[in-house]
Homo-oligomer: A and B are copies of this chain.
């Protein structure tokens, strides 16, 4: 089979860019033998052309001039690995207009401006490939778009942020507090210097927006997703939940009921310790998808990092160069919610189970008070633990798990309980997510 040369330009020569360059430079022969494609790195564009990188480029490849990419008609694929939502958008649009197909790992950009970028690509008969934007090396985009195309996706539960999972895993295993573990994660490179977008759930929401678009066939906007981060999680609640048989994970969840109501949410979630996602530890990612034909499918792997993400980027390069991304991208029929059969719902219409921790003053009649508030709000209790012993402020933790209850009832009950004179600190309220069993 004759080899087909494929010239590639990278914009944004950071960690992932260096990983991609490394694969292209070191594995061109292997990839050619496997695919018939001869990948060639034509240029790597970055404002910083002097810093040391973990890969040595041949002379003349690294440049700060993006026109080297845009003006070279022999370059068919442009990689946007800049990240962020400002100049990255402009770069992708310029690549598309210049006739390049785009490969990107930029979840924030796709989540925010995906429909605009996709429209530009369709108009110019180009495609955007974005496997690397969600869950690193895990082929979840391909699974949802292609492998599960025969399925009505009923639900999707993802651990999509390695930083949060690293922090929660370490809080759980070591009984350490959030700040200590975050600092350690930063030292080890599992958390950014500014970890805001990771720990506040924003990054998971970006990925959920992309994946739920594919799963449900709609254009999902970030506003459609309820987001709560892990900043306020205490090791006490992880421990109390653990005693009830639960493990805390930051889950990104998309679910659809038989009436096509869709709920999209990212929040700390207690899941059964026997669930397959419960043992996903450290910086790993995993996604459980439930389809009406396939049943439960779970994918697990490295969700970030130089080489795992580069692996997904190069898979997309190959897919684009073979012409496959173009056909699947053309058939990606993402409609605005109003035109598709999904009815995107706000979280307050959801039924959920809850873990509630109350700090109760240790005296007669307290149980009667908070249990009456729950009863008034039609919330039924599934389990409750009150331990002997007390805190310095003379309160004792009471931990309650509820049966499925409307979100708004629980919110009202928590507000009412916070007002009780017998309750010390503000009640802590964490959702319990019952992932279907196999």
Which A positions have Cβ atoms within 8 angstroms of B? 1, 19, 23, 27, 30-31, 33-37, 131, 137-139, 142-143, 146-152, 217, 276, 279, 281-282, 284, 291-302, 305, 307-308, 310-312, 314-315, 318-319, 322-324, 327-328, 330-331, 333, 340, 438
Contacts and interface: CB of A to CB of B under 8 A. Distances in A.
A318 B142 CA distance: 13
Contacts of A282: 438
B142 A146 contact: yes
A204 to B, nearest CB: 20
A79 to B, nearest CB: 13
A314 B149 contact: yes
A144 to B, nearest CB: 10
Nearest to A306: B293
Given A1-B331, A139-B139, A333-B1, A149 B293 contact: no
Given A139-B147, A276-B300, A279-B279, 6 more contacts: A33-B217, A142-B142, A146-B318, A150-B318, A295-B308, A324-B324
Most chain-B CB neighbours within 10 Å: which of A151, A318, A327? A151
Contacts of A284: 438
Question: How many copies of this chain does one complex carry?
Answer: 2
B298 A149 contact: no
A296 B328 CA distance: 27
24 contacts: A27-B150, A27-B152, A34-B331, A35-B149, A139-B143, A139-B146, A149-B315, A150-B310, A150-B315, A151-B311, A276-B300, A281-B438, A293-B307, A293-B310, A295-B301, A295-B302, A296-B302, A297-B301, A298-B300, A298-B301, A299-B300, A322-B324, A322-B328, A323-B327
5 residue pairs, one from A and one from B, having the closest CB atoms:
A150-B314, A139-B147, A137-B294, A293-B311, A297-B301
A318 B276 contact: no
Given A294-B137, A295-B302, A308-B295, A31 B147 contact: no
B322 A323 contact: no
Given A35-B331, A318-B149, A311 B291 contact: yes
Most chain-B CB neighbours within 10 Å: which of A146, A147, A151? A147
Given A23-B293, A138-B297, A327-B322, A147 B333 contact: no
Most chain-B CB neighbours within 10 Å: which of A295, A296, A310? A295
A150 B30 CA distance: 8
